[in-house]
Amino acid sequence: MAFVANSLSNLPVTSGAIFFVDSGASNSADGNVGRDPSKPMATIDAAIGRCTANKGDMIVVMPGHDENPLVSITMDVAGVWIYGLGWGASRPTVTFGATAATLSITAASCRVSGIVFDLGTVATTVTDAINITGADCIIENCETVPHATSQFTNFLTSSTAALRLTIRGNRFRGLGAASGTSGLVLVGCHDLNMHDNEISGGFSTGAVTQTTTATRVSIWNNRIVNDSAFYALDVADATTGLIMGNLMGAGSALTAVIDFGATWGAENYAVDVADGTVNATIQPKTAPT
């Protein structure tokens, strides 16, 4: 079926097929082909199943879409882009209602943009909003929304296989109380590129924790807050790379807001008091010789 762009003519150019997902459409169904926005599929997982690996296929998730999976959405087709349309409250939303449910990215070169991960009215603490084991993936412009009394244990977890991971422009928010483990758990992640994210909540470890050594990480221009007495950013001791231009706060000693590991540090500001009486200072404080 030929796709007539109409008002969707500003979608990014791709060489692959475009599939549409819209739970709010009166005739949405996973049995639809999904190539016509007037006859979309009902769920993201069904659209992934229509894609062909490494052809540039895109799944366009329409404004107002809301699905409530009790099992994980699995991106197991390489080179697929989930592209959420809309802004503010109109952005497409995935509301997980089961502890083990997650967006699981197992294939390489996948990309997720503009999706809200919400706990809605379900007072269930979900383990991960996003779990990544594929290499060369991108997570951008996404957001997590906590429930009034529960949140994601981790916003995002990645494995050592998630090489060259890019995390940019996201807003990951949790509760102020220490009911989450860590905002981001980065297991290894060689060649990580993480920038322009807002990460906040109360975490019983770090807001961003790297649990095993990685090389050539690049962490810059993030705003990271841990309302608990643990690190805002804690990288593994032997990790190399550059940590530059971040703003961070944590309820611990000033020297325990950032753990640089073996990276280069430049122009990172840290503060350990949340009432505005203390200004952030550059860390580490030692001047170059």
Q: Are residues 227 and 279 in the same domain?
A: yes
Please state, for a pLDDT cut of 90, what percent of the chain lies above it: 66
Q: Which of 61, 162, 73 is nearest to 109 (CA)?
A: 162
| Structural contact between residues 59 and 81, judged by C-beta atoms closer than 8 angstroms | yes
Which region among 91-95, 135-139, 276-280 has the lowest average model confidence (pLDDT)?
276-280
Distances (CA, A) of 80 to 34, 50, 59, 216: 15, 11, 8, 26
Q: Are residues 147 and 173 in the same domain?
A: no
Mark which of 96, 125, 152 sits at the end of a domain: 152
Q: Are residues 130 and 34 in the same domain?
A: yes
Name every residue whose Cβ is closer than 8 Å to that of residue 2 and which is 6 or more positions away in sequence.
none
Question: Is position 190 within any domain?
Answer: yes
pLDDT of residue 122: 59
Q: Are residues 94 and 202 in the same domain?
A: no
Q: Which two tokens stand for residue 270?
A: 């840290």
Question: Is position 1 within any domain?
Answer: no
Identify any residues that bridge with 218 across adjacent strands, giving them in sequence order: 193, 242
Q: Are residues 269 and 231 in the same domain?
A: yes
Q: Are residues 135 and 198 in the same domain?
A: no
- Identity of residue 29: A
Measure the CA–CA gap between 14 and 55, rounded to whole angstroms: 9
What is the average pLDDT across 118-124?
68
Residue 147 burial (CB count, 10 A): 18
Average pLDDT value for the chain: 89
How many helices and strands (H and E) does the chain possess? 1, 28
The pTM of this model reads 0.92
Q: Which two tokens stand for residue 94?
A: 């995935």
Question: Is position 202 within any domain?
Answer: yes
Cβ-defined contacts of 35-41 (< 8 Å, 24+): 35/1, 35/3, 36/1, 36/3, 37/6, 37/8, 37/62
| Domain region containing 192 | 167-289
Q: Are residues 19 and 135 in the same domain?
A: yes
Give the phi and the psi of residue 88 in degrees, each rounded to 5: 55, -140
The 3-class SS string of 147-158 reads CCCCCCCEEEEE
Number of compact structural domains in the chain: 2
Q: Is the pLDDT assigned to residue 162 strictly greater than 90?
A: yes
Q: Are residues 147 and 271 in the same domain?
A: no
